[in-house]
């Protein structure tokens, strides 16, 4: 296999699970919002598992590519947010937390799913590197998305979960941080550059992966 073909295969093995991680994350927000009374995402045609519906040209493709090729070396980016009108939820303050948590929960479920695929591939003796790398990428990408989005700062999902849990006065003050989204995003990129963000998130990712391995462990006995 030529070096070019190998590079294309490596990119595809990473891109496929990442795109579906993004799609399910955003769709989970929309489906949960609809369940609690807000049909905004459905009306906008965003209740879809098609990754194309959720891709932002700059945030999903160009920015991660530029950052990966830069000294930062971390493919940091974002998807096109699913529109949610929290005012249309039956209990806006409480249910916005469930809507926010749905995205990371979807990533956790996908992380578990890819880990099951990885165990099955290894157990059945599949030696095709492409499928093994894709399963590994699916595990790591979803674990990273789950942990990153749970950072308790608006506009990330973790910030909205905190807003839902705080008393109303504190919740309003905390939610107002979201007006500084651009600066927060720049700050996160800077923390990535100095590897501070990675060091902060690594323990949480380790715990999440340990939980996933524990849940999948019974499956490994089938191949002993």
Residues 6+ apart with CB under 8 A from 35: none
Work out the widest C-alpha separation in the chain, in whole angstroms.
61
Contact (CB, 8 A) for 109 and 115? no
Question: Any idea which residue has 């070096």 for tokens?
Answer: 3
- CA distances 189 to 64, 75, 192, 205, 207, Å, are 11, 10, 5, 18, 23
Whole-prediction pTM: 0.91
Six-digit token pair at 100?
């926010």
Contacts of 111 (CB under 8 A, 6+ apart): 138, 139, 142, 143, 146, 208, 209, 212
Percent of the chain with pLDDT over 70: 93
pLDDT digits (tens, 9 = 90+) for 7-56: 778 788 888 898 899 999 999 999 999 999 999 999 998 898 888 889 88
**What is the arithmetic mean of pLDDT over 91-112?**
96
* Coil/strand/helix, residue 91: coil
Query: Quick check: helix, strand or coil at residue 156?
Result: coil
Number of compact structural domains in the chain: 1
Residue 190 has what pLDDT?
82
Contacts of 190 (CB under 8 A, 6+ apart): none
Residue 136 has pLDDT above 90, yes or no: yes
Residue 70's pLDDT is 67
Closest by CA position to 23, among listed 162, 198, 145, 183: 145
Owning domain of residue 77: 3-223
Q: Nearest CA to 47 among 16, 23, 17?
A: 23
pLDDT at 153: 93
Helix (H, G, I), strand (E, B) or coil at 145: helix
CB-based contact 81:26 (threshold 8 Å)? yes
Residue 71 has pLDDT above 80, yes or no: no
- Output helix, strand, coil percentages for the chain, rounded to the nearest 5: 75, 0, 25
Check residue 204 and give its pLDDT.
94
* Residue 169, pLDDT score: 93
What is the percentage of the chain residues whose pLDDT exceeds 90? 57
Mean pLDDT of 95-120: 97
């Amino acid at each position: 296999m030529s070096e070019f073909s190998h590079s294309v295969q490596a990119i595809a093995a990473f891109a496929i699970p990442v795109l579906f991680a993004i799609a399910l994350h955003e769709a989970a927000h929309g489906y949960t919002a609809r369940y609690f009374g807000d049909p905004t995402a459905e009306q906008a045609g965003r209740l879809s598992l098609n990754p194309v519906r959720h891709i932002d040209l700059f945030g999903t493709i160009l920015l991660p590519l530029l950052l990966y090729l830069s000294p930062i070396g971390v493919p940091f980016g974002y998807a096109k947010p699913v529109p949610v009108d929290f005012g249309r939820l039956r209990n806006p303050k409480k249910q916005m937390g469930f809507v926010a948590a749905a995205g990371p929960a979807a990533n956790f479920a996908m992380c578990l799913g890819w880990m099951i695929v990885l165990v099955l591939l290894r157990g059945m003796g599949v030696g095709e590197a492409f499928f093994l790398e894709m399963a590994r990428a699916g595990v790591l990408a979803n674990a990273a998305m789950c942990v990153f989005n749970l950072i308790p700062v608006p506009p990330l999902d973790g910030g909205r979960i905190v807003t839902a849990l705080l008393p109303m006065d504190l919740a309003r003050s905390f939610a107002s941080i979201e007006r500084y989204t651009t600066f927060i995003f720049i700050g996160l990129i800077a923390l990535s550059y100095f590897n501070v963000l990675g060091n902060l998130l690594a323990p949480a990712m380790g715990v999440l992966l340990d939980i996933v391995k524990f849940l999948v462990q019974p499956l490994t006995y089938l191949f002993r």
